[in-house]
Amino acid sequence: MKKILIANRGEIALRIMRTCKRLGIKTVAIYSEADADAPFVRFADESVCVGPPPSAQSYLQGDKIIAICKELDVDGIHPGYGFLSENANFTRKVTDAGINFIGPSPEAMEVMGSKLAAKAAVKEYGIPMVPGIDEAITDIPLALEKSKQIGYPILIKASAGGGGKGMRIVERPEDFVDQMNMAVSEAVSAFGDGAVFIERYVGSPRHIEIQVMADKHGNVVHLFERECSIQRRHQKVIEEAPSAVLTPELRDAMGKAACDVARACNYYGAGTVEFLYENGEFFFLEMNTRLQVEHPVTEMITGVDLVEEQINVALGKPLSFNQDDLSINGHALEIRVYAEDPKNNFLPDIGQLEIYRRPVGEGVRVDDGFEEGMHIPIYYDPMIAKLIVHGEDREDAIRKMTKAIEDYDIVGIQSTLDFCHYAINHEAFVSGNFDTHFVKYHFTDPTILDVTDEDTLLVASVFGNYLLNDAESHGDYTPSAESTEWTRNRS
């Protein structure tokens, strides 16, 4: 493979390009008008503007992307994650055009893209699943009766869902009808598919996923687990590998189950099988048929470049390792640095990176797509970067991450840095005694993140005065009444 187009943007585009450069493969970046000055555009060997800022007019223009590939003699497309990465129709078009899609088959995407189809596919392998119904249901009286049989609380979930959309927890039978109607309506709005199913609500789960890698010759291995239980709005913000809760026996059992899930859909490439874990039991949740945002922690503990393996698999090569070749080396932590305000329900806080300085050090990795002075576009996910550290053990990783966060300077927008600093040093996290409700139970008073450090106060004061005095020269930024009052008080 001589030339690969990365059908994505930002930090994941850069991350893929770096592996391609190391392998001597030329890269093509596509970009929207909003990303014209982004680092990934300059880093690529060739770059092509694919449309206006909105994703539907740029990064989701599959036919235009394929046409660019033909024009530039591209051999392969790497979709990264998000956008077109799990779009089976796009994958078919890429393959039909004679271009290598660096990912799984469209058939595997379709099976695992539906939670109900996925459940049906893995049944014969005896993989544990949350008790519930394994088929779409629309008859409300029947659904109500099934819910009573399962036992409350129950969870209504959109079959085509993700990210918490089309999901409703129902505590009492009398709330069921309203909650089901809302779940169906939200599923139709978000996914164009109102199919829902019902299962028992796991009250204190941990979110544990297994990285799998498979080739086109029937070889399937797992690269151990990642724990992603620290979440907000059902979306991950802190990940680690390995999990603090799994025993070697559980790790082996979950790894085998994950490999069987891959076999159930004739999978090849990199994929992630997600499980819920509670009180020694684990249940199959879903499979993500792509590279995950949190894949760097797996790379840190295994030494495997997952993108390189993806490319080799796409070329028809067998895996370069077997299960016995893999072992866990140390401990890795990743935090997602979002342009969000943790003190305002993690709402996006779009603006300019007035100061942006990355931490450095042994075992510290920053995957990002921004530079100082750039604006965070309003059109896409507000993630600025992923900060990853690798330590000798979990305690060492927490120590390294704490220092790395403290050395990470971001001024101009609110970010999740302070929340992540708070979370990884919280007794519940340090002890390993936490679940997906961490934010609900341990972040009840967001003012705990208020600035107290004298140096940080000085920076806030200087920047606050800058905003108040020079806002007119930055027409794209207008401080709210609340932020103006905050800067006055701090100054």
393-428 as b/e: b if 16+ CB within 10 A? ebeebbbbbbebbeebebbbbbbbbbbbbbbbeeee
CB 140 within 8 A of CB 177: yes
246: exposed, middle or buried (Cβ count in 10 Å: 0-12, 13-18, 19+): buried
The per-type count for the chain, helices as H runs and strands as E runs, is 17, 20
Angle at which helices 417-424 and 394-407 pack, to 10 degrees? 150
Rounded Cα distance between 306 and 295, Å, is 8
| Residues contacting 105, CB < 8 A, separation 6+ | 91, 266, 267, 268
439-451 as b/e: b if 16+ CB within 10 A? beebbeebeebee
What are the residues facing 452 on neighbouring strands? none
- Classify strands 235-241 and 76-78 as parallel, antiparallel or unpaired: unpaired
Residue 15 annotated to the active site: no
Rounded Cα distance between 155 and 111, Å, is 22
- The single residue of 206, 290, 358, 394 carrying the catalytic annotation is 290
342: exposed, middle or buried (Cβ count in 10 Å: 0-12, 13-18, 19+): buried
Rounded Cα distance between 92 and 101, Å, is 9
CB 383 within 8 A of CB 318: no
* SS3 state of residue 76: strand
Rounded Cα distance between 456 and 399, Å, is 20
Rounded Cα distance between 463 and 28, Å, is 38
Rounded Cα distance between 100 and 88, Å, is 14
Alpha helices, H only, 32-105: 39-43, 62-71, 88-96
The pair of three-digit structure tokens given for residue 359, joined into one six-digit string: 């931490």
Query: If you count them, how many residues does the chain have?
Result: 491
Rounded Cα distance between 304 and 310, Å, is 11
CA 274 vs CA 81, 113, 258, 282, 292: distances in Å: 16, 13, 8, 10, 11
User: Which positions are annotated as active-site residues?
Assistant: 290
